[in-house]
Structure 1
Amino acid sequence: MNRTATVDDLLAIASPEQPALSPDGTRVVYALRTTDRDADRDRRSLWQVSTTGGEPERLTRGDADSTPVWSPDGSALAFLRAEDGPAQLWVLPASGGEARALTALPLGAGSPQWSPDGARIAFAAPVDSAALPGEGAETILTRRSAPTVADRLGYKIDGAGRLGTLVQQLHVVDVATGAVAVLTRGHAHASDPFWSPDGSLLAYSSAPDDDADLTLRIQVFVTSSTDANSAPVRVSAAAVQASAVGWSADGRHVLAAGRTDTEVGNAGLLLFPLA
């Protein structure tokens, strides 16, 4: 019979999010969001279901698992898990078994991007530019709670809060060893990493201009995926607003979404040659 919806009905809703199709097209992994009324928080775990239907299968038992991404050969899943701190990168065998943590970064990891050979994962994550060598996570997190002195317009970001001395940089982690390399440096945030087809380069977006806070300029760069000392190369024009979205199949062009000017308006698909 018909009745008025209640708060309990809303709290009972389980919402599938972030679907990821397996490379062979037979399975979909997704994050299932539920609400814990007593704890007053959302909970997320990973589930999978056949693309032909059937009963979903729960894959993880974490409370904050999200952002599943299949390895190129479909043998593993990378995902983010937040346990008593910022989200870290984890890997789960697709055939079953226990997930293992790949990162333990003081400020957490970002959305994973598998290399074409499945041996490495790239992601963007915050780094404290004021941290000294060997400085522990507790010191870094304490500095995060200190009063902020802002000398730039972009001193905070929705969802991240006050930035302070934080700068988002590109990282690459070796899946076998867990060794993490930071590939970018400087005051400008780096985001949207995408692997070249041969895995030798990463394309990404950044706004390195000194007055970037006052303009809409966001440029596209490429950098080595193995040499942290190599200098990034800008492949876009300077006066653009663009976010990298992929590569051409031959690896000679970077695809981006954006505009070839700094006006406000609709984005288009842009193609930038490497040389």
Structure 2
Amino acid sequence: LAYTPHSIDGRTWKRYRGGMQTDVWVYNLRSNEAKRVTDYEGIDTLPMWGGTTLYYLSDATTDPKAAHKLNIWSWDSKSGTTKQVTSFTDEDIKWPAIGDGEIVFQKGTKLMVLDLGSGKTRTVEVKIPGDRPTIRTRTEDVSDEVQGSSISPSAKRVAVAARGDIWTAPAENGVPRNLTRTDGIAERTPAWSPDGKWIAYFDDSTGEYELWAMPADGKGEKKQLTKDGGPFKTNIQWFPDSKKLIYQDKTATAYLVDFASGERKMIDKEPWDGSLDISVSHDGAFLAYAKSLPERRTASIWLYDVVKGESHEVTSGEFNDSNPTFDRAGDWLYFSSQRGFGKAEYGELDETWVYQDTVRGYAVPLRNDVKNPWLLEIDEEKGKDTKKD
């Protein structure tokens, strides 16, 4: 039995001379005796029996052209002599395996065979079929690869992204329509404009995702709205008049883009993580969103004046507020907040209060003349005046 007490064959060490260097040993199964048959200071490893001759890898080569390259060596069990079998000077031999009169091994990028009788080596020609059948042009069913959607204003069609293209599909009549049909370009996150004329989306044809828009029917020229090459972009939102858009990026920064000019303006930035949950007012004059502060993780509700370009905090931030939403009539601003303490429980073991189900919904009137829809009505009996004779 031939073996090495340990192995460093999986290591990346070359020309190693340290304490982990390996020698080849043989073990006599009849006498239960072990004997070291190599004592070179470098690497002797991967022993293989070929009859009474033991073959192994060693970097004992002293050829001045390329000293200490791993080559195949042999040890004769009868005479105890060692001999270098191969003499490669350019690359190490790796992972030899012995068969019927041959040893196959790796040398660089080649697979080679050593004939033990003649001592000659040859290269094995390996042909691996390419992946051409999988990359040639073909028709692909992308019905199960839909990502993101945006319903048209009339709800007759829906825009979706699938396999890097933007599609529209009918609600009832018609067929799906591929609007982009691009190779090597990924389009994603379609958003249908409120007037039904445009579909905004992200396109990486420039090397980074940029905001684009194209006619919703697929006819006409596409329009590139951003060219900043900035961080990964997300969350497209249109204004009700289809004249402005909002998008965000992975730094949690929100931007306002003018559709006609492409002018871009920063709205605000969430200082911690996530994104800004933005709602546009019915007339496009204000934006509402929840945002925390660098010194405070709880979020408060903010209003952004689109004309003035100014933001104002409108809740205290004492409680965590989220999901601000303008109603379509311009009467109310709704939001949710963790400020409900009706369900408080006292811990029996840790002597502390635990508050559950703290999220409540709140409505804020946007004008003084907005009536409270939950105003309590009380019916009263009105007495009748007695007629006099």
Distance 1:200 1:237, change over 3 A: same
State the Cα deviation string for residues 47-101 of structure 1 (Å, max 9, x = none). 1111104421111234322221111110111112233544221101113233221
Q: 2:293 matched to 1:208?
A: yes
How many pairs does the alignment contain? 210
AA aligned opposite 1:102: L
Equivalent residue in structure 2 for 1:219, among 300, 303, 314: 300
Please give the residue correspondences for 1:118-137 in structure 2 after superposition, counting only pairs within 5 Å: 118-125=242-249
Please give the residue correspondences for 1:10-89 in structure 2 after superposition, counting only pairs within 5 Å: 14-32=144-162, 43-62=163-182, 63-83=185-205, 85-89=207-211
SS at match of 2:268: coil
Per the alignment, residue 252 of structure 2 pairs with 168
Distance 1:245 1:80, change over 3 A: farther
Please give the residue correspondences for 1:110-121 in structure 2 after superposition, counting only pairs within 5 Å: 110-121=234-245
State the Cα deviation string for residues 108-162 of structure 1 (Å, max 9, x = none). 4332111111111122235xxxxxxxxxxxxxxxxxxxxxxxxxxxxxxxxxxxx
When Rg is computed on C-alpha atoms for both structures, the one with the higher figure is 2
Greater RCO, 1 or 2 (C-alpha within 8 Å, sep 6+):
1
- In 1, the alpha carbon distance for the partners of 2:340 and 2:320 equals 7
Task: Report the more deviating stretch, 93-102 or 193-202.
Answer: 93-102
SS at match of 1:181: strand
- In 2, the alpha carbon distance for the partners of 1:57 and 1:18 equals 16
Per the alignment, residue 338 of structure 2 pairs with 259
Distance 1:28 1:268, change over 3 A: farther
- In 2, the alpha carbon distance for the partners of 1:60 and 1:81 equals 10
Equivalent residue in structure 1 for 2:327, among 239, 245, 248: 248
- In 1, the alpha carbon distance for the partners of 2:141 and 2:356 equals 41
Q: Do the aligned partners of 1:236 and 1:272 also contact (CA within 8 Å) in 2?
A: no
Q: Do the aligned partners of 1:235 and 1:272 also contact (CA within 8 Å) in 2?
A: no
| C-alpha RMSD of the superposition | 3.0
Q: Do the aligned partners of 1:235 and 1:273 also contact (CA within 8 Å) in 2?
A: no
Q: Do the aligned partners of 1:259 and 1:270 also contact (CA within 8 Å) in 2?
A: no
Q: Do the aligned partners of 1:123 and 1:170 also contact (CA within 8 Å) in 2?
A: yes
- In 2, the alpha carbon distance for the partners of 1:219 and 1:121 equals 23
- In 2, the alpha carbon distance for the partners of 1:12 and 1:56 equals 12
Q: 2:319 matched to 1:195?
A: no
- In 1, the alpha carbon distance for the partners of 2:327 and 2:210 equals 30
- In 2, the alpha carbon distance for the partners of 1:245 and 1:58 equals 35
Per-residue deviation, 1:261: 5.9
- In 2, the alpha carbon distance for the partners of 1:95 and 1:124 equals 26
Equivalent residue in structure 1 for 2:362, among 252, 262, 270: 270
Q: Do the aligned partners of 2:235 and 2:247 also contact (CA within 8 Å) in 1?
A: yes
Q: Do the aligned partners of 2:271 and 2:294 also contact (CA within 8 Å) in 1?
A: no
Per-residue deviation, 1:258: 4.9
Distance 1:61 1:219, change over 3 A: farther
Distance 1:269 1:93, change over 3 A: farther
AA aligned opposite 2:306: S
- TM-score with structure 2 setting the length: 0.48
- In 2, the alpha carbon distance for the partners of 1:256 and 1:192 equals 11
Per-residue deviation, 1:20: 1.5
- In 2, the alpha carbon distance for the partners of 1:30 and 1:93 equals 15
Equivalent residue in structure 2 for 1:233, among 298, 305, 312: 312
More helix by share: 1
- In 2, the alpha carbon distance for the partners of 1:260 and 1:177 equals 43
AA aligned opposite 1:68: P
Distance 1:254 1:31, change over 3 A: same
Per-residue deviation, 1:241: 2.8
SS at match of 1:256: strand
